Amino acid sequence: MGPLSDAADAAPVLLAVPNVSEGRDDDAIDAIAAAFTGGDGVRLLDVHRDPDHNRSVVTLAGAPGALAPALAAGAREAIARIDLRANDGVHPHVGALDVAPVVHLTPDDRGAACAEALLAADLLARLGLPVLLYGALAQGRTRAQLRRGGPAALAARLADGELATDFGPPRPHPTAGTTLVAARPPLVAFNVVLRPPVTLEQARAIAAAIREGGDAELPGLRAIGLQLERAGEIQLSMNVERPDLTPLRDVVAAIAARAPIARAELVALAPEQAFAGFPADLPIPGFDPARHLIERALRAGS
């Protein structure tokens, strides 16, 4: 299998990975996913639903010019279907359409992704959603910085002038909150469930140790410890933002040195290089390389 650039030659150039704050109402999730893919030139690659996080992650593929209106169409349905005030998921969030990144698969496509993300931000603003940029479009500002304290804290920071929206209204939408928009390379959203008797406090300590800047020296790793009330489990929820430098085998090894792992979970799609040397004895229920590795998923539709 060739690199991502090979896949991009035979498939749509860009991805979009909108995250919506609904993971339990299948009718709502289906309607939102259908809205994202209702226009021309956009292909649905995956929908990942998580009731504990109360969040769904949709992966779209399309050429420049197609993804921005698709994101706006899905956002319109999300506004109609989701009342953020009722969201009790454990995942940090600030919006019904919480994040809407446009993903470039090669460095050559970075400019196209940035342009598409800015166009999407403008279209979302026209729906009445305030938009904050993060990542390369905002001098490296992170999602975690913007989500700190949740929707109420973000609303207060906007009200007192600590933050200002980049597009759209100056205050959060009353039911749909705020949307975060970026252009970025692929990352890996990766979770592991820890075996009992690991506690939430221990999971949070492990997250602090393994995330970038911690003892494990894993570049680009973001990690938090969570308690999944519905499943009755303790989870490490992670984003590997530099899978070229931090393959999942290294993440698993760092966690396993500190606590026993029951199983892993991939959220949405990942580049194939992230799974190089992945331990064969660690189960990932539902993982299908043909559907969940970006290169293979794109080739399947070419």
* DSSP strand pairing (261-267 vs 188-194): antiparallel
- Distance, CA of 25 to CA of 139 (rounded, Å): 36
Q: Answer positive or negative: Cα dihedral of 7, 8, 13, 16.
A: positive
Question: Which residue carries 């299948």 as its tokens?
Answer: 26
Of these residues, 91, 104, 173, 292, which one is catalytic? 91
Query: 52 and 94 in contact (C-beta within 8 Å)?
Result: no
Residue 91 among the catalytic residues: yes
User: Which residues participate in catalysis according to the annotation?
Assistant: 91
